Amino acid sequence: MKRGAVIFLQAMAVSVALAGGYLAGTRSFFQSGWVSGSMEWESSGGSGDWNSESGGAKKTSGEAALSWDERKTMLFKRWKSSPCTSGDFELQEESRQFLDRVPVPDLEAWIRELPSTSNDETDIRPYLRRFILEALAPRAGGYLVKSLAVHPPNQGDMDDARAALRSWLQSDPAAALAWMERGEVPASLKDEIEGARADARTSLDWKDPEAFEKRLAGLNEEDRLEALASFACEASFDPEKREVVLRRISTASPEDAKALRGPLLRTMGQENWRLAVGTMVSLPMPDEERADIDLSLTTEAAKIGQFFGPRPEQAEIMQGWLDRNPGEALPEKYLEVTEGWSSRDEEGYRSWLERQPAGKRRDILAAQLIRGNLANGNPSELEERVGLIQDEALRAEVRQQVETARLEKEAREAKEQSETEARRREVSGPSE
């Protein structure tokens, strides 16, 4: 057996052993009576006991009464010992069972105790805090949202109140909408309400299609189109809902179809730009609308590479737009992306550029390679690249830009050198 295979098998054996020890510890921990589906939490001043069987007072065999602080510590230790809390579904389910039996005021107080952020990446307290907040919000509803907004744990920070409102909206949009309609929203959350109200209505629209149709019939044209757009956005990440919207588009009036198409495709593009582009290509629509959506999908997908590093499919994204839109013109939004791409991934951009056929588009894209590196590029290298441009007028324009950048760089360096020399003289004092 090869040495690499031996090492791999040894590593797997260690991983299995560690996982087995963790799972065994998990089972023994939960079987200890910390939480059980047949036990109830009774609070008295923030502390209590797990009672075996819902109506009895008998303690679990061998288990002493635990205080609220002790039980919090046990939960925290369980989270800390988990290899991956986000994927530990047993931990999450057992934690929810525990939290469901703890009174709302106790959990709110615990949220206020835990930090919302940490400089330590291994600190699980912020993650536990968010889990508790999202688990509590559906139970506590408007009480929790209002409490966190009026008395935020971090002065002036509405993030907790917003998170509680979002979680409540997802679990019970009808109750959340009724609460908002009653005017109980704190002033500090007024700016969030229109969006939250729209989200609640959209969730209800999907749960009750007949009520949605009745609501649409009672809206004016502007509000109706906005409701359709929200309806489409909600479907973007759900294949079954997408099919519902696509069927509706196929029979809708031109105005309604447009209100559904753009939001559906643009929101789809945030998660899967290939699927969004493929869907766009298959849908009949006016050329102007298609061009606008296509450019938006392309540039938004490509911009992700500018913020998070070059995407492996960056060239595919940009080339796809060129192939779907033949001709010589290149929109300004497209050129902005190429300039940013060339400055952050020069090698990848040049490789893509070299595959472009000769012509006006290639010249423009070659100019973007140079313009994207004017600020930090070597003037001599930039001058050499000007030769990639075949169009004489564009080549002369870019050559002048390179020369201007060179002069500006020399002036900047001379000024920095002069300032450095002046500071050196101040430190050393006048020479004799």
Domain-ending residue, one of 115, 135, 159 = 159
Domain-ending residue, one of 103, 131, 159 = 159
How sure is the predictor about 42, in pLDDT bands with cuts at 50, 70 and 90? very low
- Where is pLDDT greater, at 318 or 308? 318
Domain-ending residue, one of 159, 193, 215 = 159
Range of lowest pLDDT (52-56, 101-105, 364-368)? 52-56
Cα–Cα dist 22/373, whole Å:
52
- Where is pLDDT greater, at 416 or 261? 261
Contacting residues for 25 by C-beta, under 8 A, at least 6 apart:
81
Q: What's the helix, strand, coil split of the chain in %, to 5?
A: 75, 0, 25
Output the pLDDT for position 62. 39
What average pLDDT does range 121-144 have in this prediction? 91
For residue 86, is it within any domain? yes
For residue 59, is it within any domain? no
Sign of the CA dihedral running 11, 13, 16, 18: negative
Output the pLDDT for position 261. 97
* pLDDT higher than 80, residue 309: no
* pLDDT higher than 70, residue 324: yes
How sure is the predictor about 310, in pLDDT bands with cuts at 50, 70 and 90? low
How sure is the predictor about 431, in pLDDT bands with cuts at 50, 70 and 90? low
* pLDDT higher than 80, residue 5: no
What average pLDDT does range 82-100 have in this prediction? 90
For residue 96, is it within any domain? yes
* pLDDT higher than 80, residue 320: yes
What average pLDDT does range 178-205 have in this prediction? 80
What average pLDDT does range 22-28 have in this prediction? 43
CB of 147 closer than 8 Å to CB of 108: yes
For residue 364, is it within any domain? yes
Cα–Cα dist 384/374, whole Å:
13
What average pLDDT does range 362-372 have in this prediction? 89
Output the pLDDT for position 110. 93
Output the pLDDT for position 285. 96
CB of 271 closer than 8 Å to CB of 237: yes
What percent of the chain stands above pLDDT 90? 38
- Where is pLDDT greater, at 204 or 321? 321
For residue 228, is it within any domain? no
Q: Which of 294, 260, 301 is nearest to 280 (CA)?
A: 294
Residue-wise pLDDT for 143-185, tens only, equals 999 999 888 888 778 888 888 888 888 888 888 888 888 887 8
Domain range enclosing 86: 64-159
- Where is pLDDT greater, at 162 or 297? 297
Backbone angles phi, psi at 245, to 5 degrees: -65, -40
How sure is the predictor about 48, in pLDDT bands with cuts at 50, 70 and 90? very low
The top-scoring range by mean pLDDT among 21-35, 250-264, 410-424 is 250-264
What average pLDDT does range 343-371 have in this prediction? 91
In order, the DSSP letters of 214-244 are HHHHTS-HHHHHHHHHHHHHHHTT-HHHHHH
How sure is the predictor about 31, in pLDDT bands with cuts at 50, 70 and 90? very low
What average pLDDT does range 23-36 have in this prediction? 43
* pLDDT higher than 60, residue 23: no
What average pLDDT does range 106-128 have in this prediction? 90
Output the pLDDT for position 158. 86
Output the pLDDT for position 306. 60
Instruction: Share the mean pLDDT of the chain.
Output: 81
For residue 82, is it within any domain? yes
* pLDDT higher than 60, residue 304: yes
For residue 410, is it within any domain? yes
Residue-wise pLDDT for 375-419, tens only, equals 776 777 787 788 888 888 998 998 888 888 888 888 888 888 888
For residue 135, is it within any domain? yes
What average pLDDT does range 241-251 have in this prediction? 95
Cα–Cα dist 363/394, whole Å:
8
How sure is the predictor about 195, in pLDDT bands with cuts at 50, 70 and 90? confident
What average pLDDT does range 329-338 have in this prediction? 93
- Please tell me the total count of domains within the chain: 2
